[in-house]
Amino acid sequence: MRRDDRADVKHEVLFEDALTPLKHRSLFLGRALSGRRFFAARVFLGMVLVVLIGRAGWMQVARGADFQQQSENNRLREAPLLPRRGIIRDRQGRILADNIPRFQVTMTPMELPRDPAEMESDVSLAARVLGLSVNDLLPMANATGSSRDEAMIIADQVSYRQAMDFAVAWPDLQGFSLEVAARRRYPWSHEIQSLSHVLGYVGKLSPEEYQEVRGTGYRRADEIGKSGVERGHEEELRGALGARTSEVDAHGRVKALVGERPAEDGTDLSLALDLDLQRAAEQALRKGLESANVDRGSAIALDPRTGEVLAAVSWPAYDNNIFSGGVSSTAYAKLINDDRNPLFPRVWAGTYPSGSTVKIVIAVAALAEKVISANTSIMSVGGIQIGGSFFPDWKAGGHGPTNVRSAIAWSVNTFFYTVGGGYESFVGLGVDRLGEWMRKFGLGSETGLDLPGEREGLVPTREWKEKTKGERWFVGDTYNLSIGQGDLLVTPVQVAAYTAAIANGGYRIEPHFARTGTSTEMGERLADASIINTVRQGMRDNITYGSGRALSTMPFPVAGKTGTAQWHSEKDYHAWFTSFAPYENPEIVVTVLLEEGGEGSAVSVPVARDILQAWWDLRKARQGIF
């Protein structure tokens, strides 16, 4: 073989092996992989394989059901079926609140197309059909967090024509829904606006309210009772959502109905309130306010046997229909900027000095604690002088010898100064026992009214004054407390409640609007029957010859107590009157307050007279007595 041929052979061998002897020398063609590194690589690849197999097993076994459910959720869509809210009626069965249908359109951001261009196209189409601005809808469509999977209302009270146009476009819109909801209607509230405080209204859940009720069956788009009976009885009035489940394609278009869970309608509610008496009470109060040249007041009528509220008027008032389906900003601003505060339910949320109406409670306390007897006589000479302070009677020169009945009849301050705070050698109840008996009769706490927003009022104590005012308690404070002045604060419903306890023989009642029956179980008597009867007689004397004698000519016997509460050094007194009738077997309590009205006997008594007469006339007519 020639030399050149041998050289060619040697070059060809180079391509057969990576390392081949060449003239007895090694030729290196790349870095060799050591055994240790090769083993490490095998271990690493093995671990990766184990992880992948384990992950696949975990997804198929441990999470298989979850992923299957997610797959089903992508295939299935659940649309809510809205319940009918319970109807509210008065004691005669007349409808005070019902429902009328309305169309609304909701959007669920999570169900919108994932492609941004397609999503914007759908949102633009929906906005165009509904007459909305796409710039208002896009931020809602791009919502983040947990709100993405919640339906949100984008158009409410949609017209029938718009609803039909939207229904035509609906198959091409992913993530939108057309719902037939209900709008609350209050058929009598325009005529009798004082009903609005009692009934309240419903409105859209605020973010704060939604956080409170989240997980209890509410959606962000739902409504909830905001005030009054609508709020106090929300649970039974609302009902429960149902659902309709449909199968959808990849674009969210409905292909078939899979199943349906019917909604549970809310429970209808019957109130003890009498629509006719409510109308009469509102008219009487408005007439009294006009006569006294003031514009704020309240009146409540209840059954002392059961606690059922027959009428409750806070004035000024408003028409709660304006809140149905959403209130305009202009209308709402007008209400909240009104200095008279027409949204304020004065009957249970207004707090005022009780004036002399609380003297019936103090009389019970003095008799029960044996500070006085029914025959104890105290001389009224026009007031009491303590050091440099003078505590006057309302009548100059005083009323002369006074027992508990005549003290109630004429509202004699000196008598109650003495039995409350003591004088000279006479030992009175003192602040501690006064407070104890006031709390026994329900002052300083809510009455249990089945509406939100009830205020507790205030029964002042030594500790309260030291903590709040940084001052110690003086005997003058006890004198003021003994006649319903000073720091004592009550609500009109509290005054009606303790009047009811005197009327029914000494049993504390719990006022309520929902009708529960014709009788209720009485608790423990607050004081002996003889003591309660003495105070009842004093209230009857108030009508026959005392400060409430304007009612002495009524066709049925009435008992009552006037009150005039000083609350401001530069403004007129609050005018109170509380009463019950018929005297022997009471069926009604009527309590009236005219804010800054002046003397209770002059302005509040006529209002109560008109309410009591209206009640009597209705009672006769319904019993067939003419």
Cite the beta strand spans of 297-413 per DSSP E: 297-302, 309-315, 378-380, 383-386, 389-392, 400-402
3-state SS, residue 557: coil
pLDDT at 175: 82
- Over residues 214-233, the pLDDT tens digits come to 888 888 888 999 999 999 99
pLDDT: which is higher, 25 or 430: 430
CA distance 225 to 231: 4
CA distance 522 to 504: 10
Place of tokens 């309302």: 394
Q: Are 482 and 357 in contact (CB under 8 A)?
A: no
CA distance 66 to 49: 24
Q: How do the domains of the chain map onto residue ranges? A: 3-59, 76-270, 275-317+347-623
pLDDT at 19: 47
CA distance 463 to 57: 70
pLDDT at 316: 97
DSSP class of residue 382?
S
CA distance 321 to 337: 19
- Over residues 286-327, the pLDDT tens digits come to 999 999 999 999 999 999 999 999 999 999 999 999 998 777
In the predicted model, is pLDDT for residue 48 greater than 50?
yes
DSSP class of residue 62?
I
In the predicted model, is pLDDT for residue 159 greater than 90?
no
Work out the burial of residue 8: count CB atoms within 10 Å of its CB; fewer than 13 is exposed, 13-18 middle, 19 or more buried. exposed
Mean pLDDT of the chain: 88
- For the chain, what's the residue count? 626
pLDDT at 567: 82
Residue 122, both tokens: 């759908």
3-state SS, residue 122: helix
pLDDT: which is higher, 299 or 153: 299
pLDDT at 271: 98
Give me the mean pLDDT over the 541-558 stretch.
96
- Over residues 330-346, the pLDDT tens digits come to 888 999 999 999 999 99
DSSP string, 434-486: HHHHHHHTTTTS----SSTT----B---HHHHHHHHS----HHHHHHHHTT-T
- Specify whether 406 is catalytic: no
Q: Are 123 and 143 in contact (CB under 8 A)?
A: no
- Over residues 246-291, the pLDDT tens digits come to 776 665 566 677 788 898 999 999 999 999 999 999 999 999 999 9
pLDDT at 251: 58
> How far, in Å, are 246, 613, 622 from residue 625 at the CA level?
62, 15, 8
Give me the mean pLDDT over the 153-174 stretch.
83
- Residues paired with residue 554 on neighbouring β-strands, in sequence order: none
Q: Are 567 and 595 in contact (CB under 8 A)?
A: no
CATH 3.90.1310.10 fits 76-270, yes or no: yes
In the predicted model, is pLDDT for residue 137 greater than 90?
no
Its sign, for the CA torsion 596, 508, 415, 409, is: positive
3-state SS, residue 131: coil
In the predicted model, is pLDDT for residue 490 greater than 50?
yes
CA distance 352 to 359: 15
Count of beta carbons in the 10 Å neighbourhood of residue 581: 25
CA distance 560 to 160: 57
Band of residue 506 on the pLDDT scale cut at 50, 70, 90: very high
Count of beta carbons in the 10 Å neighbourhood of residue 290: 10
C-alpha Rg value of the chain to the nearest Å? 39
**Residue of 201, 172, 170 whose CA lies nearest to 186:** 201
Long-range contacts (CB closer than 8 Å, 24 or more residues apart) made by 428-431:
428/366, 428/371, 428/478, 428/482, 429/362, 429/365, 429/366, 429/369, 429/371, 429/482, 430/478, 431/461, 431/462, 431/473, 431/477, 431/478, 431/481
DSSP string, 173-236: -TTEEEEEEEEEE-TTTTTSTTHHHHH--EEEPPHHHHHHHTTTT--TT-EEE-SHHHHHTHHH
Range picked from 87-101, 113-127, 612-626 for highest mean pLDDT: 87-101
Give me the mean pLDDT over the 64-75 stretch.
54
- Over residues 466-475, the pLDDT tens digits come to 999 999 999 9
Q: Whole-model pTM?
A: 0.83
> Which of these is catalytic: 298, 354, 356, 380?
356
Are 76-270 and 275-317+347-623 in the same CATH fold?
no
CA distance 282 to 240: 36
Pick the CATH number of 275-317+347-623 from 1.20.1730.10, 3.40.710.10, 3.10.20.30, 1.10.3720.10: 3.40.710.10
Mutual orientation of helices 430-440 and 359-368 as an angle, nearest 10°? 110
3-state SS, residue 340: coil
Q: Which helix (H) or strand (E) holds 563?
A: strand 559-565
DSSP string, 81-93: EPPPPPPEE-TT-
Give me the mean pLDDT over the 82-99 stretch.
96
3-state SS, residue 377: coil
3-state SS, residue 512: strand
Give me the mean pLDDT over the 570-597 stretch.
96
Residue 112, both tokens: 């919108």
Q: Are 417 and 394 in contact (CB under 8 A)?
A: no
Q: Are 499 and 593 in contact (CB under 8 A)?
A: no
Place of tokens 């169309």: 103
Band of residue 123 on the pLDDT scale cut at 50, 70, 90: confident
CA distance 306 to 308: 5
pLDDT at 14: 44
Question: Cα dihedral angle (616, 619, 622, 626), rounded to 10 degrees?
Answer: -50
Residue 394, both tokens: 């309302």
pLDDT at 250: 61
Beta sheet of 254-261, edge-to-edge order: 76-81, 242-248, 254-261
pLDDT at 12: 47
pLDDT at 307: 96
